[in-house]
Amino acid sequence: MITIHLEPDNEVIELHGTKTVLAVLNRLKLRSTMAIVARDGQLLTPDRRLNPGETLMVRKVTSAG
Amino acid sequence: MKCSRCKQLACVSLPSHHSGFCAECYPIFFTRQVETAIRREKMFTHDERILVALSGGKDSLSLMLELAFQGYDVTGLHIDLGIPGSSEKARAKVENFCTAHGLSLQVLEMEKEGLPIPDIKEHVKRPVCSVCGRIKRHHFNRIALEGGYDALATGHNLDDEVARLFANTLRWDTAYLSDQGPVLPARQGFTRKVKPLFRLSEFETANYAFLKDIEIHSDPCPYASGASFTSHKELWGELEHRSPGQKFQFYQGFLKNGKPAFAAREQEIGEPLAPCIECGSPTSAGTCSVCRIKAAVRESKAKAAEA
Ligand code: SF4
Ligand SMILES: [Zn+2]
Ligand SMILES: [Zn+2]
């Protein structure tokens, strides 16, 4: 299981069976340039692999305005 | 993925540039893009004084930090809109940011100007965002001129520019299409306006802000609707995903081939500007829109007081 902190929505989402950053983005219906993804304060590219139990920050980049 | 510069593990992937960068090299990429924008569009020089509009969002703060890093003479200007529960937070972030980085900042309070945004929401029938936008542009321009600044810089990025161009195109708004661009030269009553981040996407500024530890104001304004704008951005995000680089090509193509044609047409049919009879700001309507809004709010308040 991967825990996602979604910003700026301030939601916590749990995902099962996602093994890469790209898979997480797909599940969240986000294209790779629509959000930045970080683990332990480090940015990750979509090809990075994830391990069960990890927590990610996913921040959507589109600002209204 | 490996960094295109140093071959270490990349942390940002940029399909439109066919490259990726690590945390050390990414800010170098960002700096180059801003340098190129300033140089090619002749935005300003190191001898000029630049006023930077700071909303508290990632774009404006990234812009301020980067221009200061490049050695430009920058002063921030934040407009406190007086919206309860939102404006205090935005203002605090801007103030903390400028203090932390030793940057000079000026704050204008709409409350003191007699026109806090909640009053507009209550007393003016037009959509609050269009009025709010006008008021901000009015004061940014006024303060730039009064303070003797050479240019006003805003944090508009490529996605903002493309979304706006797209909206203007859908309406075939020739007046807006004639002067949208990364630089608007100074003319009577208007300061020079520049957008040094116009080559960078929202994704690119978000990565920069994250790597530079910029604490951003991301709580949306309670009055924000922005629905059509956001949906245009999503549409473009999809196009960009299918053919990376298309956004930039669309915008560059407009600047090269579209804008001159609209500018020529606007020369023929555009309305001449004259100073507003109340505040002196340039307008084509005798009294400028901001002075008219002020009068409308005053009237509506007086009526409410009588009732
Ligand atoms: S969302 Fe609308 S009202 Fe709120 S700050 Fe932006 S323009 Fe002004
Ligand atoms: Zn590198
Ligand atoms: Zn006026």
**Does residue A65 carry a pLDDT above 50?**
no
Spatial distance between the Cα atoms of B82 and B87, rounded to a whole number of angstroms: 6
Q: Which of A9, A37, A5, A8 is nearest to A21 (CA)?
A: A37
Phi, psi angles (nearest 5°) of residue B126: -70, 160
pLDDT band at B266 (very low <50, low <70, confident <90, very high): confident
Q: Which domains does chain B have, with CATH numbers?
A: 26-270 (3.40.50.620), 272-307 (no CATH)
Kindly identify which residue of chain A lies nearest to residue B231, measuring between CA atoms.
Answer: A64
Residues 32-51 of A with CB under 8 A from B: 32-34, 36, 38, 42-47
Instruction: Please say whether the beta carbons of B156 and B59 come within 8 A.
Output: yes
Tens digit of each residue's pLDDT (9 = 90 or more) over A1-58: 999 999 888 899 999 999 999 999 999 999 999 999 999 999 999 999 999 999 999 9
The tens digit of pLDDT for each residue in B136-148 reads: 999 999 999 999 9
Return the pLDDT at B267. Answer: 83
**Average confidence score pLDDT of chain B:** 92
Strand (E) positions, chain B? 12-14, 19-21, 49-53, 73-80, 104-109, 151-153, 183-184, 192-194, 274-275, 282-283
Q: Which helix (H) or strand (E) element contains residue B96?
A: helix B87-101
Could you give the domains of chain A?
A: 2-60 (3.10.20.30)
Give the distance (Å) from ligand 3 centre to CA of residue B261: 31
CA separation for the pair A21, A33 (Å, rounded): 12
The confidence score (pLDDT) of residue B218 equals: 64
Buried/exposed code over A5-35 (b: 16+ C-beta within 10 A; e: otherwise) = ebbeeeeeeeeeebeebbbbbeebebbbbbb
Confidence of residue B221 (pLDDT cuts 50, 70, 90): confident
Q: Which 8-state DSSP code applies to residue B189?
A: T
Residues B3 and B22: their CA atoms lie apart, in Å, by 5
Confidence (pLDDT) at A64: 56
Better pLDDT: B283 or B70:
B70
Cα(A39) to ligand 3 centroid in Å equals 51
| Banded model confidence at residue B226, pLDDT cuts 50, 70, 90 | low
Q: Are B269 and B284 in contact (CB under 8 A)?
A: no
Question: Which segment of B39-48, B59-68, B80-89, B197-206 scores lowest on mean pLDDT?
Answer: B80-89
- Count other C-beta atoms under 10 Å from residue B188's C-beta: 8
Distance between Cα B285 and ligand 3 center (Å): 10
Bigger pLDDT: B24 or B307? B24
What pLDDT shows up at residue B222? Answer: 84
Query: Is the CB–ligand 1 distance for residue A63 below 6 Å?
Result: no
Which one has a higher pLDDT value, B61 or B284?
B61
On the question of pLDDT at B22 being above 90, the answer is yes
Q: Find chain B residues with C-beta within 8 A of A36's C-beta.
A: 203, 206-207, 210
Amino acid at B62: S
Percent of chain B with pLDDT over 90: 70
